[in-house]
Amino acid sequence: MSLRLFNTLTRSVEDFVSLEAGRVQMYACGPTVYNYAHIGNLRTYIFEDLLRRTLEYLGYSVEHVMNVTDVGHLTDDADEGEDKVIRSAREQGMTVWEIAEHFTNAFFSDLDNLDVIRPTIVCKATDHIQDMIGLIERIEAKGHTYISGGNVYFDVTSFPHYGELAMLDRQNLQAGARVGVDENKRNPADFVLWFTNSKFERQAMVWDSPWGRGYPGWHIECSAMSMKYLGDKFDIHCGGVDHINVHHTNEIAQAEAATGVHPWVRYWLHGEFLVLDKDKMSKSLGNIMTLSSLTEKGYDSMDFRYFCLGGHYRSQLQFSPEALDAARSARLSLLDRIADFRRRADSVPEHPEGKAAAYLSDFTSRMQDDLHVPQALSVLWKMIKDTQVPPEQALSAIGFMDRMLGLGLIENTAEENLEEELSRLIEERNAARKNRDFERADTIREDLEKRGILLEDGPDGTRWKRKR
RNA sequence: GGCGCCGUACCCAAGUGGUAAGGGAGAGGUCUGCAAAACCUUUAUGCACCGGUUCGAAUCCGGUCGGCGCCUCCA
């Protein structure tokens, strides 16, 4: 069975074949670090993590490159959110560089909390200005640029493949429909490679270049860095759907114009949006929803990961507190059941057999079919509820499944030891129950609950578990 | 204004021609001193609405209404 992925280039599901057997090179668009990542951003990184985990599960060695864009969007412009950052930077006496570092750290901390495996290479835009200048020079040498109003522009008419990814009809692109026209452009789709003449004041980061002191355009960093680390041709490029029309379209133009190699990237994968309540999303209210805002309410980061696994990556996912609660309950129930398997299991075989093996195979085929995680999850639940699957077999299969899901199903269900004092209380309660002193027994149970220990009396005796 | 996507039970959500996965929540029951957990049963003759194609449609086509995304930094 092979991996099949939906390729935005062709708008269809294709068999995935890597350029080099057993090795996958993938580039994932990273954050622009001028603010905290919100949960919608994080959904996309979770999607990319599922892709990476599945590739690795299937035996590929994955080179996973991610940029951190710490230039370009850090100065003031008309956007209110950015004003706020500048304001807070000023208030806190931080430079834009410090702001970038702060939000970069916050970003990776979020990913760690979500058990998103870190990229093999993380590259900062400001460390690669010379690479960007070099790439612009190559594009210029091939005759795809012009200089106007002090800025270096990419001439989209010089690049016949322009807009293929987005399936743009260039004739019908309407300039200035929602934004002012840049008078320097020959064609509305043209875009800046290098600015020397900023439309923003207070530009905080500038570098020398053959075209004058200035800073790079919005799209060049991804082309330059991905090509630096992955070469002129590589397997997968992914990001959010919002990147298709402009960012990725322009990245392709830049890369292919410079090298003449087509296609530059073979598979383009895009994650759909998490849809929030309008109120919650309102920028004017300033309450973008972050992962920490969820954990502050008592959710575990992994509740959010589980929630994201409930929808397919190419469908919009409707976020609501109720939906997150449902994910939380489901996840905790899953952990409880697995913990129970672990108590009942003898030794867990390295590979599952029989029915468990069949479930694993079913699960894997759903994952291989364009990462149909919701279906894979339903297979996991079916296996868990199938009384014909012995616990040690189920555990063996779950171990493999979780390598793709990344829910910590094995790590978070290990047997724990209870403090001696608490164990003694449980024994005391059981003695009380034997003597039919239920008042005493219930008092102890309530006391333990206050200390985070829940008791369940079963036919095999009393079990305890920690409140989550 | 242009391009594209979506509308499935109380909620989230799979399902793209063959008769509605899964999870959460709710209801009833078994078990239990009680509780919890678990288990059993139950919750869409119907998939926004209207019309069409077909032996057969949630799935294809047309229209209507509603929601979302991109066209501007954006996951």
For A254-269, the pLDDT digits (tens) are 999 999 998 899 999 9
* CA to C1' distance (Å), from A274 to B66: 19
Q: Is the CB of A435 under 7 A from strand B?
A: no
User: In chain A, which stretches have pLDDT less than 70?
Assistant: 1, 72-92, 167-182, 198-204, 277-287
Q: Is the CB of A18 under 7 A from strand B?
A: no
Span A280-317, pLDDT tens digits = 444 444 557 899 999 999 999 999 999 999 999 999 99
Q: Is the CB of A237 under 7 A from strand B?
A: no
How much is the pLDDT for A280? 46
- Name the residues in A44-63 having a C-beta closer than 7 Å to nucleic acid strand B: 44
CA–CA dist A394, A383 (Å, integer): 7
How much is the pLDDT for A84? 46
Which nucleotide lies at the shortest CA–C1' distance from A179? B72
Nearest to A364 by CA among A343, A380, A388: A380
* CA to C1' distance (Å), from A366 to B17: 22
How much is the pLDDT for A186? 84
Q: Is A215 exposed, middle or buried (0-12, 13-18, 19+ CB in 10 A)?
A: buried
How much is the pLDDT for A50? 97
Q: Is the CB of A438 under 7 A from strand B?
A: yes
CA–CA dist A13, A220 (Å, integer): 29
* CA to C1' distance (Å), from A318 to B65: 21
How much is the pLDDT for A423? 86
Which nucleotide lies at the shortest CA–C1' distance from A379? B22
- Name the residues in A118-147 having a C-beta closer than 7 Å to nucleic acid strand B: none
Backbone angles phi, psi at A221, to 5 degrees: -65, -35
* CA to C1' distance (Å), from A363 to B55: 35
Which nucleotide lies at the shortest CA–C1' distance from A373? B14
How much is the pLDDT for A176? 42
How much is the pLDDT for A74? 43
How much is the pLDDT for A462? 86
User: Which positions of chain B lie under 7 Å from any protein Cβ?
Assistant: 1-6, 11-15, 21-25, 31-40, 68-75
How much is the pLDDT for A83? 40
* CA to C1' distance (Å), from A58 to B19: 35
Q: How would you list the strands of the sheet with A61-68, edge to edge?
A: A121-124, A61-68, A23-28, A234-240, A265-271
How much is the pLDDT for A181? 59
How much is the pLDDT for A287? 58
Return the bridge partners of A270, or none: A239
Structure tokens at A298: 């008592």
Which nucleotide lies at the shortest CA–C1' distance from A334? B23
